Structures are given as structure tokens and as C-alpha cells.
Amino acid sequence: MTSLDRDTKAPNTIVLIHGLWMTALSWERWVKHYTDKGYRVIARSWPGMEGDIDQLRSDPSAVATLGVTEVVDHYESIIRELDRPPIIMGHSFGGLMTQILLDRGLGAAGVAIDSAPVKGILVLPWSSIRVALPALSNPANNHRASSLTADQFHYAFTNTLSDEESERIFERYAVPGPDHMLFQASLANFNPHAATTVNFANDSRAPLLLIAGGRDHIAPAAVTKANYKLYSKSKAVTEYKEYPERSHFTVGQPGWEEVADFALDWSVEHARLQLPAAPISDSLRRPVDPEMRA
């Protein structure tokens, strides 16, 4: 019997949430790594992204108008089926979704890796704008799903790797993503009911670790630091960790094991420091979908 089996309150499940232009396949190494440690690992793709990657690449219409709230709801429904609160980890837009899920009262601990910007981050570096600009430059793209080119992917995700290494990663993982999410994130500060809203003063949410990469072009460390500072008024545990030489593709870049182990060890430690919590149930108050408000 493992320690996970003996401790019926410790998290025994890890939920992994991928980001834009990726599917759950991007977590494949982390899934095995955590499974080998005795955890149940749930890594499911966003709605409409399940199944064959080649089919998604040829016809991304199923995800063309997918938004942040729909994806968060998707993972919330998965989490509510579990017998105890899991550790939630998300990368890029998955990191943003992790923060929203914790704000909703879910999870034993959360890790947001290279998170997309939450509402309240006022200034984005040029490298972030450069990645999103092709989609944002045309308002019609708000209802389309588009892909990065191999060169754009190299700049955005794998800028620390060679052209050949980047090409292999691009061919295995890259898929079209809903441009609608880029519009939601970029216009959030002008929308009183933005889907990327988080209650930074929430004192009752689970512990949150924000991880940044010092060479990340999509979500530079400055963005993650700004995100961290927004939580300054909360009594809930929030910590920041930076890896100076890591890119946006930190979940697959060589040395990913160090990040994965730190994220897990931190989560387990801080989840155990929390007061005993009741299993997740439908009695938890679910916020009104901000995009459905009049």
C-alpha cells in the first residue's frame, strides 16, 4: 500500500490542462512521469480537440469559437467527478484556467506554468504582442481557428532550440487554436465581465504556484510577476518560481523533469498544510458565467 493509499485526504489525482495551439498530447511525458510516481493523471484535450490531430489540423471548425469559460467548465465537470480535490496544473492558457478553477473553489493546490494573462495585467511585452498580432489584426478572426507557422512556432514556443528540434516538436504537437481566446485575453481590461477575470482577494482558494520562464516569448517572466503581484491582498498561499533559461515549451524542453518535480513537490507540501477539506460536491457554490450575464 502506498502513502497515497494510506492518506485518504492527500490528493491522489493530477489534472493537466494544455494551452493554445496544443492538445493534451503535449503532456505525454508528464503523464508517464507522474503515473510512475503512483498518481492518477488526467490529461484531456479541450472540447472539440479530442481525437486525431491530423483531422483537427485539416478541419478546426469545431473549436473556432471556443472560449475560456467553456473550457474551464469542461475541466470543472471532470474535477467534480473525483472523490477528492486534485492537484491542478496548467500551461499557458491552461495556467489561466487553473487560476480560474482555484478561484471557483476547486483543487487541493494549483500550478500555473507560463500562464496566459489574467484580467488586470495592463502591459504586455512586445514579444507577446508579436505572437498574437496575426490573429488580432483581423476582427473576423474572432470566429476562426488558426495555426502558427513553423517559424512562428519556433519564435513563440521553442526559441531555445535548434530549427531541426523545433520542427520535430511542431510536427508532433502543434494544432490550430481558437483565436477567440486571444481576443478575450487582449480585450479583458475593457470588459467588465471578462472571461479571464479572477478574484485576487479570494482568501479561501487552494495554494497557487506561478512558474515563469526567463526566455519565454509568449508569457515572459514580467507577465507572470505582474500576475503574482495581483494576489498580494489575498491571505491564500501564492508563490512565484522562475527558471531563467526556459522557454514557453517548458513542458517538453530538455530539463522538463526538474520543473515537473518541483511543481509536484510544492503542490503536495502545500496541499498537506491546508486544513482538512471535504470532498468536492455539487454543494460548492458555482459562480455565474460572466459571459452569460445581461
DSSP conformation letters of 235-257: -S-EEEEEETT--TTTTTSTTHH
Q: Which three cell numbers stand for residue 219?
A: 508569457
Q: What is the pLDDT of residue 286?
A: 41
Average pLDDT (166-173) is 97
Return the number of other C-beta atoms located less than 10 Å from residue 74's C-beta: 18
Given a cut of 60, is residue 91 above it in pLDDT? yes
Given a cut of 80, is residue 288 above it in pLDDT? no
Q: Identify the DSSP state of 199.
A: -
Share above pLDDT 90 across residues of the chain, in percent, rounded to a whole number: 80
Q: Are 118 and 196 in contact (CB under 8 A)?
A: yes
Q: What is the pLDDT of residue 139?
A: 86
Given a cut of 50, is residue 109 above it in pLDDT? yes
Average pLDDT (153-182) is 97
Chain centroid offset of residue 134 CA: 22
List Cβ<8 Å contacts ≥24 apart for 35-44: 37/264, 38/2, 38/4, 39/4, 39/12, 39/13, 39/14, 40/12, 40/13, 40/14, 41/13, 41/14, 41/16, 42/13, 42/14, 42/15, 42/16, 42/78, 42/86, 43/15, 43/16, 43/18, 44/75, 44/78
- All structural domains of the chain: 3-281 (3.40.50.1820)
Question: Of 287, 229, 284, 265, nearest to 11 (Cα)?
Answer: 265
Average pLDDT (2-7) is 49
Q: What is the pLDDT of residue 279?
A: 46
Q: Identify the DSSP state of 84.
A: S
Comparing 6 with 273, which gets the higher pLDDT?
273
Distance between CA 109 and CA 9 in Å, rounded?
A: 13
Q: What is the pLDDT of residue 10?
A: 87
Given a cut of 70, is residue 124 above it in pLDDT? yes
Q: pLDDT by residue (tens digit) across 29-88?
A: 999 999 999 999 999 999 999 988 999 999 999 999 999 999 999 999 999 999 999 999
Q: What is the pLDDT of residue 276?
A: 53
Given a cut of 70, is residue 194 above it in pLDDT? yes
Given a cut of 60, is residue 292 above it in pLDDT? no
Q: Mean pLDDT across the chain, nearest whole number?
A: 90
Given a cut of 60, is residue 2 above it in pLDDT? no
Q: What is the pLDDT of residue 282?
A: 45
Q: Range with the lowest mean pLDDT among 79-88, 122-131, 182-191? A: 122-131
User: With a threshold of 0.85, does the pTM exceed it?
Assistant: yes
Q: What is the pLDDT of residue 150?
A: 97
